[in-house]
Amino acid sequence: MHIPDGDRSPSTCAVLFAGSTPFWYASLRRMKRALNTRMIPLLSVFAAFSFIVMMFNLPLPGGTTGHALGVGIAAIVLGPWASILAISIALAIQAVFFGDGGITAIGANCFNMAIVGSLVAYGVYRLVAGGAAIESPRRIVAAALAGYIAINAGALIAAVEFGIQPMLFHDAAGAPLYAPYPLHIAIPAMMIGHLTIAGLAEMVISGGVVAWLQRAEPHLLEATSGETVGWKATRPVWAALGVLMLLTPLGVLAAGTAWGEWAPGPGAPEGMRRMAAFWTAPMPQYAPPFLRSAGLGYALSAMAGTGLIILAVLIAGRLTRGRSQ
Partner 1 sequence: MRGSFVERSLKSLIAASQYAAGAEQMAAGNGALQRVDPRVKVAGLFGLVMLAAASRQLRVIGWLFGAAVLLALLSRIPIQKLATWIWLPVILFTGAIALPALFLTPGRTALSFGGFVITEQGVRAAGFLISRAETTATLSSLLVLTTPWPAVLRALRTFRCPVVVVVILGMTYRYIFVILQTAFEMLESRKSRTVGTMPPRERRRLAASSVGVLLGKSLQLSGDVHLAMQSRGFRGEIHLLEDFRARTSDWLWLTGFTSIAIAGIWFQL
Task: Name the minimum Å distance from CB 46 to partner 1.
Answer: 6
Q: Rule CB under 8 A: is residue 167 a binding residue for partner 1? A: no
Write out the binding residues for partner 1, residues 101-160 only, by CB under 8 A.
102-104
The whole-angstrom separation of Cα 77 and Cα 187 is 31
Draw the binding track, 175-214, toward partner 1 (x: CB under 8 A; -: no contact).
xxxxxxx---x------------------xx-xxx-xxx-
Tell me the window of 92-100, 153-161, 286-294, 310-318 that interacts with partner 1 (CB under 8 A): 92-100
Write out the binding residues for partner 1, residues 231-290 only, by CB under 8 A.
none
Q: Rule CB under 8 A: is residue 221 a binding residue for partner 1? A: no
Residues 6 or more apart from 299 whose CB is under 8 A from it? Answer: 245, 246, 248, 249
Among 92, 114, 158, 302, binds partner 1 (CB under 8 A): 92
Q: What is the DSSP string of 15-51?
A: HHHHHHHHHHHHHHHHHHHHHGGGHHHHHHHHHHHHH
Task: Name the minimum Å distance from CB 250 to partner 1.
Answer: 51
* Cβ proximity to partner 1, 92 vs 115, nearer residue: 92
* Cβ proximity to partner 1, 83 vs 248, nearer residue: 83
The runs of H, that is alpha helices, within 79-171 are: 80-96, 106-109, 117-129, 137-168
Among 15, 19, 30, 42, binds partner 1 (CB under 8 A): 42
Classify residue 278 by its DSSP letter.
T
* Cβ proximity to partner 1, 2 vs 297, nearer residue: 2
Count of beta carbons in the 10 Å neighbourhood of residue 222: 11
As a whole number of Å, the end-to-end CA separation of the chain is 43
Among 37, 280, 324, 325, binds partner 1 (CB under 8 A): 37
Q: Rule CB under 8 A: is residue 71 a binding residue for partner 1? A: no
The whole-angstrom separation of Cα 306 and Cα 311 is 9
Count of beta carbons in the 10 Å neighbourhood of residue 210: 27
Task: Name the minimum Å distance from CB 22 to partner 1.
Answer: 14
Among 15, 28, 156, 160, binds partner 1 (CB under 8 A): 28
Among 36, 280, 324, 325, binds partner 1 (CB under 8 A): 36
Among 174, 236, 282, 289, binds partner 1 (CB under 8 A): 174
Instruction: List the beta bridge partners of residue 67.
Output: 57
Q: Which of 4, 203, 230, 58 is nearest to 131 (CA)?
A: 230
Among 18, 26, 45, 239, binds partner 1 (CB under 8 A): 45
**CA neighbours closer than 13 Å in the CB half-sphere of residue 289:** 5
* Cβ proximity to partner 1, 93 vs 299, nearer residue: 93
Task: Name the minimum Å distance from CB 131 to partner 1.
Answer: 24
The whole-angstrom separation of Cα 84 and Cα 92 is 12
Phi and psi based region of residue 275 (left: phi greater than 0; alpha: psi -120 to 50; beta: remaining): alpha
